[in-house]
Amino acid sequence: MHRWMMVSLCGIACVLGMGFLFSEVQRHSSEVKQEAAAPALPDAPLNAQAAEAVYKQSCIACHGNDLEGKMGPNLQKIGEKLSAEQLYKVIQNGRGGMPAFKSSLKDEEIANVARWLAEKK
Protein backbone atom coordinates (compact mmCIF):
# COMPACT_ATOMS: atom_id res chain seq x y z
CA MET A 1 0.00 0.00 0.00
CA HIS A 2 2.84 2.39 0.79
CA ARG A 3 4.30 1.76 -2.69
CA TRP A 4 1.00 2.66 -4.41
CA MET A 5 0.79 5.86 -2.42
CA MET A 6 4.28 6.91 -3.53
CA VAL A 7 3.53 6.00 -7.16
CA SER A 8 0.31 8.03 -7.00
CA LEU A 9 2.06 11.07 -5.53
CA CYS A 10 4.81 10.85 -8.12
CA GLY A 11 2.20 10.60 -10.90
CA ILE A 12 0.32 13.64 -9.61
CA ALA A 13 3.59 15.62 -9.41
CA CYS A 14 4.41 14.67 -13.00
CA VAL A 15 0.98 15.73 -14.26
CA LEU A 16 1.24 19.08 -12.45
CA GLY A 17 4.76 19.60 -13.77
CA MET A 18 3.67 18.91 -17.34
CA GLY A 19 0.75 21.32 -16.96
CA PHE A 20 3.09 24.05 -15.74
CA LEU A 21 5.53 23.35 -18.58
CA PHE A 22 2.81 23.61 -21.24
CA SER A 23 1.46 26.86 -19.76
CA GLU A 24 4.97 28.39 -19.82
CA VAL A 25 5.47 27.33 -23.44
CA GLN A 26 2.16 28.98 -24.40
CA ARG A 27 3.05 32.17 -22.49
CA HIS A 28 6.44 32.37 -24.19
CA SER A 29 4.85 31.76 -27.58
CA SER A 30 2.39 34.62 -27.08
CA GLU A 31 5.24 36.95 -26.01
CA VAL A 32 7.19 36.09 -29.17
CA LYS A 33 4.10 36.80 -31.29
CA GLN A 34 3.61 40.17 -29.57
CA GLU A 35 7.25 41.13 -30.17
CA ALA A 36 6.98 40.16 -33.82
CA ALA A 37 3.81 42.23 -34.18
CA ALA A 38 5.37 45.29 -32.54
CA PRO A 39 6.13 48.11 -34.96
CA ALA A 40 9.70 48.41 -36.18
CA LEU A 41 11.94 51.34 -35.34
CA PRO A 42 10.91 54.25 -37.62
CA ASP A 43 13.60 55.30 -40.07
CA ALA A 44 14.68 58.79 -39.05
CA PRO A 45 18.06 60.40 -38.38
CA LEU A 46 19.23 60.96 -34.82
CA ASN A 47 18.61 64.43 -33.38
CA ALA A 48 20.52 64.43 -30.08
CA GLN A 49 19.13 67.79 -28.91
CA ALA A 50 15.53 66.68 -29.43
CA ALA A 51 16.25 63.35 -27.73
CA GLU A 52 17.74 65.11 -24.70
CA ALA A 53 14.69 67.40 -24.53
CA VAL A 54 12.32 64.40 -24.52
CA TYR A 55 14.52 62.68 -21.93
CA LYS A 56 14.39 65.75 -19.68
CA GLN A 57 10.61 65.96 -20.08
CA SER A 58 9.72 62.28 -19.66
CA CYS A 59 12.61 60.26 -18.23
CA ILE A 60 14.77 62.37 -15.92
CA ALA A 61 12.61 61.81 -12.82
CA CYS A 62 13.36 58.08 -12.79
CA HIS A 63 16.70 57.85 -14.59
CA GLY A 64 18.46 60.96 -13.25
CA ASN A 65 20.08 64.09 -14.70
CA ASP A 66 23.11 62.22 -16.02
CA LEU A 67 21.43 58.88 -16.82
CA GLU A 68 22.82 57.62 -13.50
CA GLY A 69 19.56 56.08 -12.37
CA LYS A 70 17.32 56.90 -9.44
CA MET A 71 14.18 54.80 -9.20
CA GLY A 72 14.91 53.48 -12.68
CA PRO A 73 18.12 51.78 -13.80
CA ASN A 74 21.35 53.50 -14.80
CA LEU A 75 21.34 54.22 -18.56
CA GLN A 76 24.88 55.55 -18.94
CA LYS A 77 26.02 52.41 -20.82
CA ILE A 78 22.67 51.00 -21.92
CA GLY A 79 23.85 50.87 -25.55
CA GLU A 80 26.21 48.02 -24.58
CA LYS A 81 23.24 45.91 -23.47
CA LEU A 82 20.37 46.86 -25.78
CA SER A 83 20.13 47.87 -29.45
CA ALA A 84 18.15 50.87 -30.67
CA GLU A 85 15.35 48.50 -31.74
CA GLN A 86 15.20 46.88 -28.31
CA LEU A 87 15.23 50.26 -26.58
CA TYR A 88 12.47 51.46 -28.89
CA LYS A 89 10.24 48.55 -27.86
CA VAL A 90 11.00 49.04 -24.15
CA ILE A 91 10.24 52.77 -24.29
CA GLN A 92 7.12 52.19 -26.35
CA ASN A 93 5.66 49.29 -24.34
CA GLY A 94 7.29 49.71 -20.93
CA ARG A 95 8.89 46.95 -18.88
CA GLY A 96 8.96 46.07 -15.21
CA GLY A 97 8.15 49.26 -13.30
CA MET A 98 8.65 51.47 -16.36
CA PRO A 99 5.44 52.76 -17.95
CA ALA A 100 4.72 52.59 -21.67
CA PHE A 101 5.19 55.86 -23.55
CA LYS A 102 3.41 54.92 -26.80
CA SER A 103 0.38 56.97 -25.83
CA SER A 104 2.26 60.06 -24.62
CA LEU A 105 5.13 60.31 -27.14
CA LYS A 106 5.16 60.15 -30.93
CA ASP A 107 6.82 57.15 -32.57
CA GLU A 108 9.50 59.43 -34.01
CA GLU A 109 10.28 60.84 -30.54
CA ILE A 110 10.55 57.33 -29.08
CA ALA A 111 12.80 56.25 -31.96
CA ASN A 112 15.00 59.31 -31.50
CA VAL A 113 15.43 58.67 -27.77
CA ALA A 114 16.12 54.99 -28.48
CA ARG A 115 18.86 55.86 -31.00
CA TRP A 116 20.34 58.41 -28.59
CA LEU A 117 20.42 55.89 -25.74
CA ALA A 118 21.85 53.17 -28.02
CA GLU A 119 24.91 55.37 -28.50
CA LYS A 120 25.58 55.38 -24.75
CA LYS A 121 28.38 52.83 -24.48
In the annotated binding site, the residues are: 59, 62-63, 98
**Quick one: which H or E segment has residue 77?**
none
Name the binding residues for heme c. 59, 62-63, 98
Distance CA 104, CA 37 (A): 20
